[in-house]
Structure 1
Amino acid sequence: MGEVSTPDILRGLRISLHVSFAALLLIGVLRVVVGIRSAFGGEWLVVSLSILLACIYVIGTVWESRFAQGQTSRNPRRFVLPWLGAVTLVWAVMTLASPDFSWVAFPLFFLYLVVLPTGPAIASIVGLTAVVIVAQFMHAPSGDFHLAMVIGPSLGAAFAVVVGFAYRAVYRDNERHQRTIRQLQAARLELAEQEQEVGRAAERERLAREIHDTLAQGLSSIVLMTRAARQELENQHPDRALERIDVIEETAAENMAEARRFVRDLSSPALDSDLLTGLREVCTRTAERAHAEGQELQCRFRSEGELPDLPLNHRAVFLRAAQSLLGNVVAHARAHTAVATLQVWPDAVSLDVVDDGIGFANDDDTQLERPDAPSYGLAKLAARARELNGALTVESAPGKGTAVNIRLPLEGQ
């Protein structure tokens, strides 16, 4: 047998209350009709009042139930007191007409205890009990009214009060429980929205990095090579111009592949190959683009140590670092040689990109940790390295080239 929840208990008690009201009212009507036990007006007056009482009671309870279930937006709370007063008045007239309706007072006791505050509820129950005693006195044979006719209704009222208080305690405890549940649901919804916003922000940051390291670098190269091709045409060197146009076409095709993959699954085509092959291709394309732009740049790739099976995010960081750093060499360094070296250590893997270009002032390494760092690429690479518990260091000085190292720890180290 399954566990019974508090709402189920309250629902059962509420149904029992309504069923007992209907059953006691029906018993009273049957006794009046069969025994014609009416003090005035005959049984038809009592039957008419019973129908009226049943209609008033059903209208109020059905309205309250529909509102509780969300089937209507009209709150019946402001009509509770008039409704309860009408039920009490019709019942009092019927009870004074026939004492067979005295038993209907018991479900009314519970109604008063649920609807009204404690003081008014107790006063109303005392009043209902007085009506029952008066009805017993009015219909008792001459000289046959005795103490039991007072004690019986009084004890019944006292028992109803005790049970009613217990019901009200359970009812209010359930209301507090429901409020707590609603607050928890609201807090969970708010937390879920915050997590979604954080996820969206992280995804936007990731896409910004990917676009900078791939599409933006490629488009920058296209712009530079287009200028170089135009200059060759102006200098009457069509063969060199065609060579640069071929590189432009190749770069545009690669960027188109990147864009399509971003749309399809937000990853990168270069990541489909192994890391060493990808890094060699980056160096080869860098040299080709530099040559197409009129630079005499030699770009070499070396690997030292046996490369373990790196996670996808590690491979992505190294590949994007090579693309971004070598792109910077072509765009800014005016170097003749660039060397990318992937080294395997016992506890980490590192990538060094070294060039013999013009270098730059690098007096404050902490600039890489600032969101407003002047170099978007270096700042984002440093952030990506920190996300994987790694680090990025830059060594450079004017006229002495640049060396950038990105180091990522191996898993479990």
Structure 2
Amino acid sequence: MMSDSSLDPILACMRFGLHALVVGLAAFACTSAYVDSSATAPWILLAGAAFVVVYVVGVRTGCSSGRRPSRAAGIGWLVVLTCLWAVMAMLRPEGAYLVFPLFFVYLRVLPGIGGVGAVLAAAAFVVYALGRHSGFSVGGVVGPLVGAGVALLMGLAYHALVREIRERERLLRELISTRGQLAEVERAQGVLAERARLARDIHDTVAQGLSSIQMLLRAAERDAPETSAAYLAMARETAAESLADTRQIIGELTPSRLDGGLAAALRRLGVEQGERSSVVVDVRAEDRDLPMDVQTALLRIAQGALSNSIRHANARRVEVVLTGDPDSVQLAIRDDGCGFDVDSVDSGTHDLGSFGLLAMRERTEQLGGVFEISAQRSLGTTVTVRVPLCDRRKVVS
């Protein structure tokens, strides 16, 4: 997984700014003590150096992340850091300024009410420390409280930004995964379409030619003299064996689900999906001899529509009806699910769940057919596919 820096430079800049503020304020407190020739200068220098070292070690070791399993180590690190800061604040008023970056550290290491409590406690200590140095005043009380309020607001904004980046990262991973799945599905569909085309072409050329040769040889065998009949019979048997081999090749190129034809494939699909909902398959075109690409397309559309009905529409009953006439075949999938807004799909304002419907439409239009959706919320959905057959060559297995 990518780091925050690579995900969003804003987070990296904010953290770098926090680190620079800690080091800068610690250096300012130490320098001011030496500029004023304060007797506490060596002590505040020692405390400031220890504070910076402890802070850097905690950042480098991950104690500042506030995540398990380093939560206990982070709290321990925070206690030591707070004690060193308290010493600096008691020695010099400038040391109290370090409380502002500490506010953000508290909110990061102690998320939730713990961080808020630590911020308020630190602000109260700053009020006491400043009052001890120069007396209590309205500015000395209001200033730290305002700083604490600003820190809390900025902390909330920071956490909201982190959540948004995490969500964006999750969506990006899902998008990449979905894109890979779509590419794999598209590749598989291309392979199936090419296999179906090869099966159709082999049937319409080689298989039909061998079948014609058989019939011609059988006719010639009846009228041929006895000396030639044996050779004609041998040629006919060879053609029959070649035709059988060709049909076996056609069968291997045909999708395995369609081994028994589209009607059988639809019934098997209904049994498989019937474990989740009641699926009724009504085939009224049992004897129709459909081209392989039409069978493959209708089966894929039925699979997608059933999946949508059961998984997304929560349908309790789904009907799959296959009908036909001499010029066309029609597949209808009706469910009693929750339905949806058809206009959102037609207008292109769809989500990932409607890509299946768009794929069904494209598959139907590739066959020159008509794809229709009828749906109402809470009243179910009906998907209807009509594919013309009058200008298509039939594939007979």
TM-score (ref. length: structure 2): 0.49
TM-score (ref. length: structure 1): 0.48
